[in-house]
Structure 1
Amino acid sequence: MSVSILVITYAFLHVTEGSLGDHSPYYQRCLEKCGLLNCTEDGDFRDYEQPIYLNLLQWSCEDECRYECMWKTVEAFHERNWRTPQFYGKWPFVRFFGIQEPASVFFSLLNFYAHSKMIKKFRKEVPKDSPLYWLWHAFCLVSLNAWLWSTIFHTRDFPITELMDYACAFSVVLMSCYCMIMRLFRTAPRFVLVAITSFFVAFLANHVTYLGMGRFDYGYNMQLNIFIGTFTAICWFGWSTYNRIRQPYVWKCAIFVALAGVVMLLEIIDRPPIFWVFDCHSLWHFATAPLTCLFYSFVIDDCKYLREEQQTRKKKID
């Protein structure tokens, strides 16, 4: 199972197509006026010394105009009792020291911390000679990388940070499926396991290459994430149900899948951010952190079970 269900929708959020706000004449006029008054032909500021933290996060003069005009447009919409508009596919957020979506950044770091904390617990409780010991370390590294890029992307949305966020989110979905298959077929011949691993590596490389070529294919990426994530969740849930008597701890896996499905409802809700900071996507990030701890708890119990089973088998042979 893993966090695949947690990131199914994450990998295709933030579609940057035009929205009502940035298409409105009010916004376009504001943007044109702001650019003429404050920006040079080279895109630099005319008479404005930008704070160092905004400069470090590469807020250009055009970006500053977009941010200022976004709030003026929101105010104009509200004065007419119109609904809050989106801009370039996103809700308006109050930036914090240049960070575009502060809540999502903080909660992405929270998930990063959850993975790092739980892998330390895993190392403390699970002996190195346990089956699948290094598999779950690889899973943790892939997840840490994904949450790092999530943090970077929500800090500043650029084409490269968007691509890395999508690609790394997909890597977690695929890694989750890989871990599930390796758990189910761990006793298969070595050449079979090598073939499975090679297939997944090649599949990831091909998908990331495709996403980076030309126009980003949001639809394809979304469908692939949903298919792989759903397949992984169904397999884990079925496996947990089948082994619920012999391996009582698998309830953690089943509960994880169920709660992850409930948490995904947050991604369906599309509402303006609370206090212009907390949107449903950021709350989804917040909810995934404790679920990550639950999943690692299952992994720890499962590795202990496999080691005990392995030692019992060796004793019988001896």
Structure 2
Amino acid sequence: MNETILEVSNLKTYFYSEGMTIPAVDGVSFSLQKGKVLGICGESGCGKSVTSQSILKLLPPKQAKIQEGSSIKLHGEEITSKTEKEMREIRGKKIAMIFQDSMTSLNPVMRISRQMEEMPMQHLNMTRAEAKKYSLEMLKKVGIPSPESRMQAFPHQLSGGMRQRILIAMQLSCNPEIIIADEPTTALDVTIQQQILDLMLEIKNANSTSIMLITHDMGVVAQMTDDIMIMYAGLVMEQGETKEIFANPLHPYTRGLISSIPRLDVDSQRLSSIKGSVPNWHEMPAGCRYCNRCPECMDICREKIPGLYTVEERRVRCFLYQNHGEEKEA
């Protein structure tokens, strides 16, 4: 039996703007097991990043609020009610986050050495000299050439791949149990992308680290993950094992995402695509949020939001499977 490290139940994160309430994450539930990789995927604006930032309470408190009834448990301990001071003990030490834009994630006016040394000094109680030596070792682990000279550089003096490796080294410096990687290969060329992905798998295998991988790249999902959660407009559309979902995607949205992956074994003149785009919140359909784009839309889809139906070992939010019995959500 796999050990559950993180358990999220009925997570609702709403934004408040210009008199509107926007349910950016609307009742999301999932669990993350030790040493496993969970892929959270979907188009931009589906709530993937908000889900991850809710876990670490990184959202602006005046504009965003985690609703009552939401539960986030780390090793069975509820963390939604923790103070900012208590969360600082969790961030980096227990749960680390790799953001998608390495240029904006690193302080442009601080040398890499100063930024690298902060985390071991704070969480591991090292002196600056100890932290400097430790940081050099971490840079070597992630394959940074000439780490001594890179430590003295500013972020703009390094390539995108090096900056991303430095971010990974920083987040790994306290041996976290969970890494949340939010589009970790965005804007990198394909060679560097593969190196970053290989590095993350190597880290996972060496330390039994759990990874939440947030991406819209279904090819990366197929390569990296054990389980998948497909999101659309703040809702979970399909959940299950990666190999099962790729072998037989059930939700029309999942099928659309998978069919949009370019394939070398298929001779095609055009790439497949999903028509339309994620609607704005003030234009959201009254029923299923995907109904305006769905090729299998029925009358009931326009009238009400489907629940999550359990199909074998999977959960699917689609009326095509309503004969399987709706799962009661918390």
Shorter-chain TM-score range: under 0.3
Compare the two structures and name the one with the higher helix fraction: 1
The structure that has the greater radius of gyration is: 1
TM, length-normalised to structure 2: 0.24
User: Which is richer in strand?
Assistant: 2
| TM-score (norm: length of structure 1) | 0.24
Higher normalized contact order (CA 8 Å, seq sep 6+, divided by chain length): 1
